[in-house]
Amino acid sequence: MDPILVPAAQYLRMSTDHQQYSLDNQSDAIIRYATEHRFQVIKTYSDPAKSGLRLKNRAGLKQLLKDVVNDEKPQFRAILVYDVSRWGRFQDHDEAAHYEYVCKAAGVPVHYCAEMFGIESGPMGWILKALKRTMAGEYSRELSVRVRTGLVRLAKLGYKLGGSTPYGLRRQLLNKKGKPKQILALGERKSVADERVTLVPGPANEVSVVRRIFREFADENQSIISIAKRLNDEHVPFLRGTTWKWSSLRVLLQDPRYLGMHVWGRSTSLLSTPKRQLPISDWIIYPNAFEPIISQELFIRAQQVFANFTIRLTDEDMIERLRRVHAQHGKLNTRIIDRSRLCPSLTAYCRRFGGLLNVYTRIGYEAPKERAHNSLRTRGCIFRAAFLKNVLGAFPNQFQEVRKNHRFRPLLKYRRTGLLISLVFARYVPETLNPEWIIETPEARTGHAALLVSLDSEGTVKSLWVFRRIPAIHRNMRVRQGDDFLRAGIIVEHIAGLMDAISGIRPI
């Protein structure tokens, strides 16, 4: 009678370190082990050309663990692996033990076919297995150090060590004597270990585009976004025929390779750890590694423009620049700040310090007109918030406050229909023969339904009007009682009638 064979799955993994770990060699050893120990391999999981450092990129092992854990009765009753290192070279040996224990707890033990212990054989087997796991992780650490040492040596000689090739440059293959051999096309690699790769200027049209980008940014005060738009409008293709993006231009304008300078080691992700930036003192820098395509002076001017970007300036830097502009003009206003090439934009000051008046206070500058206008605006914001709170309190569960972000004024949302309603205030104009109100409507709100709130001379609510939509009007428009503009709306005599006026309006 034939002996009963235990169904088993085999797990194979091969990185690029040793031929002895080829998938075929592993499978042959596992089959011999299975024959000797009465196993029958019915399923194979594999991770070809995958590092054993992390589980994340190993689809085969992840699927194996998933099948073991999720199946109430797995098809196989054992897992056969060539040795401990094929299970993984995890830097924390407890991680390898954890995955093995998960399988064992599900009734599917792991057998290491090329190890002397095979499966646990008491305390000595456990100790030896833990030692093997630690040695597997240590091998990866030692290999990483050796590889990095070799890369540092080549980087110090100015050779390219992988990565993408920037626009306007091409990869030049050098033979073992350092003589040019050929230009490598996209996807081509060197075929001999002692050959090297460097960079050379690309086609003349691409070189011309790179020089144009630097000139427009550094000397003509063009923004990155406008440069990208013009290049796309002129149908100038980027890499692989794609379109230009501001992020691509930002990288291009700060790439020292256009100076003929080779820089390597700006970041590291040693042993698959999260990527981190290294200090400049750890970079490998080789000047004049290949022919530059822009001058050093032009590159420095471009970096000076980047240095003036707000995100790179401290609060004190921004304040000090504004002091210098004040000393130059003897006064400050929005036009002077916006036109100054020394200062960041007016918006940048407002975002950083919470408003222009706060900036003026920091430098000790008095601006009566701006303070008066700002006080009026502050009172309006306070009144808007209080009115919105009253509406929400008067109609609980009927309305909802919505806001795109902190830069936009809040809207009312009628829950039943989803109608969006903007709040528009009509400010009373004193000292006029006929009562007048000024309506200030942001252009972005002219397409919404609107609740127009007219105020009296004391700043309290005089009347309410509901509009299906605010017509396209001037930024500041004066209206009088009985104007055609008001006839287009529905007057609300009391806030209790607000629901009746709104319920008849459908979203546009």
Looking at residue 129, which CATH number applies to its domain? 3.40.50.1390
Nearest to 462 by CA among 484, 490, 493, 434: 493
Residues 331 and 295 both lie in one domain: no
- Helix H or strand E encompassing 469: none
Q: What is the mean pLDDT of residues 452-468?
A: 80
What is the pLDDT at residue 289?
Answer: 87
What is the pLDDT at residue 151?
Answer: 79
Q: Which of 57-71, 213-227, 431-445, 451-465 has the lowest mean pLDDT?
A: 431-445
Residues 399 and 350 both lie in one domain: no
pLDDT digits (tens, 9 = 90+) for 411-449: 888 888 888 888 888 877 776 667 788 776 655 455 678
Give 87's contacts (C-beta < 8 A, 6+ positions apart). Answer: 11, 13, 52, 81, 96, 99, 100, 110, 112
What is the pLDDT at residue 48?
Answer: 86
Give 324's contacts (C-beta < 8 A, 6+ positions apart). Answer: 342
CA distances from 221 to 181, 218, 228, 341, 343 (A): 41, 6, 14, 9, 14
pTM value surpassing 0.85:
no
Q: Is residue 231 part of a domain?
A: yes
Nearest to 118 by CA among 25, 18, 39: 39
- Check whether 206 has a pLDDT greater than 80: yes
What is the pLDDT at residue 346?
Answer: 75
Q: Is residue 376 part of a domain?
A: no
What whole-number percentage of the chain has pLDDT above 90?
Answer: 22
Q: Quick one: CA dihedral 308, 313, 319, 323, positive or negative?
A: negative
pLDDT digits (tens, 9 = 90+) for 269-300: 776 677 788 887 888 888 888 999 999 999 99
Q: Which of 122-126, 372-376, 405-409 has the lowest mean pLDDT?
A: 372-376
- Check whether 205 has a pLDDT greater than 80: yes
Q: Is residue 374 part of a domain?
A: no
- Check whether 466 has a pLDDT greater than 90: no
Q: Which of 155-169, 276-290, 294-308, 463-477 has the lowest mean pLDDT?
A: 463-477
Q: Is residue 372 part of a domain?
A: no
Q: Confidence band (pLDDT; 50, 70, 90) for 376?
A: low
Residues 214 and 298 both lie in one domain: yes
Q: What is the mean pLDDT of residues 233-248?
A: 92
Residues 236 and 355 both lie in one domain: no
Residues 43 and 113 both lie in one domain: yes
Q: What is the mean pLDDT of residues 474-484?
A: 71
Q: Confidence band (pLDDT; 50, 70, 90) for 253?
A: very high
What whole-number percentage of the chain has pLDDT above 70?
Answer: 87
Question: Among the ranges 266-280, 365-379, 473-487, which has the highest mean pLDDT value?
Answer: 266-280
Task: Assign 168 to helix, strand or coil.
Answer: coil
Q: Confidence band (pLDDT; 50, 70, 90) for 1?
A: very low
Say which residue, 403 or 244, is predicted with more confidence. 244
List the domain range (segments joined by +) for residue 280: 169-306
Q: Confidence band (pLDDT; 50, 70, 90) for 32?
A: very high
Domain boundary among 339, 366, 393: 366
User: Within 10 A of 239 (CB to CB), how many other CB atoms are there?
Assistant: 14
What is the pLDDT at residue 342?
Answer: 77
Q: What is the mean pLDDT of residues 85-101?
A: 86
Output the average pLDDT for the chain: 82
Nearest to 392 by CA among 406, 411, 419, 409: 411
User: Within 10 A of 203 (CB to CB), how many other CB atoms are there?
Assistant: 10
Domain boundary among 257, 284, 306: 306
Residues 325 and 426 both lie in one domain: no
Say which residue, 286 or 460, is predicted with more confidence. 286
| CATH number for position 294 | 3.90.1750.20
What is the pLDDT at residue 274?
Answer: 76
Q: Is residue 345 part of a domain?
A: yes
Residues 206 and 235 both lie in one domain: yes
Residues 179 and 132 both lie in one domain: no
Q: Confidence band (pLDDT; 50, 70, 90) for 476?
A: low
Residues 10 and 135 both lie in one domain: yes
Q: What is the mean pLDDT of residues 166-190?
A: 88
Tally of structural domains, the chain? 4
